[in-house]
Structure 1
């Protein structure tokens, strides 16, 4: 029966744990690039059209290894006060308490709970979305576009595209039930910069 002398077991243990340590180290940390990341949504307006609005990511972090998604995780904050419907009066109407309630709940927050990998470039991220003080589970199909240095070599970037469908009633946005649709289509185009510290969690709007 094989045995290990007391003087040799640390080396054996280190050799056994090295692959695990290397795998963990490969999962890099990123912060969201708030300039090159965008969220666009669309909802029915009286059945005549589905106009678009845009929101900005306020900050957040991502942990991701392109070769092993098992440890992937993220948190991000969405600035509802950044709402842009293309018209100031329309922005104000959508920010009222019956809809986004931007003044009392300035930020929406998403925290992942798991990532389901479908193939090398497609998956589903599962998590909790908190919006207007209400938290609901959501699952978001996404595409991992690529990871690597920018054209000028200034940063290493990971890029993703995602789509989701949200029920506004589930988050307490029940106003204008007869004129505004209840299913909101959401598109996310995301870039994250490797190695930078995550943005601080935004405070509440004064």
Structure 2
């Protein structure tokens, strides 16, 4: 029996049958990030960014060997009020230019449960890069019923300080900490 197991392992290694991460492209129509902050103690304000671009290299057999490299256009900011959007894009906050992106690239993944992991990575926003940790959960991995191919769905959350990224105007009256919730889908790359 032991000889058979060793032979099978050698055969798998020789034929390259060892699983490796596979590329998944983000589905920008079903991926978004929501964040909230407190406004002067009177209300909790909700905002959203959408239009993700990027790739997840997913290893189903060894999730810690997976990686994430994604971007989202700053212009996709949805505030629900045009004057707030203009203020956020102006000199008090982002001083945004056409084509400005928010980027996240993973540097490590620590599996913490059957479908849960801590994804550590570099978040670049407003020209500043800081390490952040996302508490992530794999919602589902399987055949998409309409796309007809392998699909992934994740939710993640974190808290960041906006002042760390040079957009700390009016803190602490407007909370410096942002509660961030992310939901993404990705389909297996062609």
Give the TM-score taking structure 2 as reference length: 0.88
Task: Kindly indicate whether the alpha-carbon contact (under 8 Å) linking 1:142 and 1:160 is maintained by their aligned counterparts in 2.
Answer: yes
SS of residue matched to 2:52: strand
- Equivalent position to 1:75, from 64, 69, 76: 69
Contiguous gaps of at least 5 residues in structure 1: 1-10, 197-206
Change in Cα spacing, 1:162 to 1:13, as seen in structure 2 (3 Å) is: closer
CA distance in 1, matches of 2:53, 2:147: 23
Task: Kindly indicate whether the alpha-carbon contact (under 8 Å) linking 1:39 and 1:57 is maintained by their aligned counterparts in 2.
Answer: no
SS of residue matched to 2:28: coil
- Equivalent position to 2:13, from 14, 17, 28: 17
What is the aligned partner in structure 1 of residue 113 from structure 2? 119
Q: Tell me the number of residue pairs that the alignment of Structure 1 and Structure 2 aligns.
A: 184
CA shift for structure 1 position 90:
1.1
CA distance in 2, matches of 1:56, 1:134: 20
Bigger CA radius of gyration:
1
**Consecutive aligned runs of 4 or more in structure 1 exceeding 3 Å deviation:** 11-14
What is the aligned partner in structure 2 of residue 32 from structure 1? 26
CA distance in 1, matches of 2:98, 2:170: 20
- Equivalent position to 1:48, from 37, 42, 45: 42
- Equivalent position to 1:60, from 29, 54, 60: 54
Q: 1:45-194 alignment to 2 at 5 Å?
A: 45-103=39-97, 106-152=100-146, 154-194=148-188
Root-mean-square deviation (Å): 2.2
Give the TM-score taking structure 1 as reference length: 0.82
CA shift for structure 1 position 195:
2.1
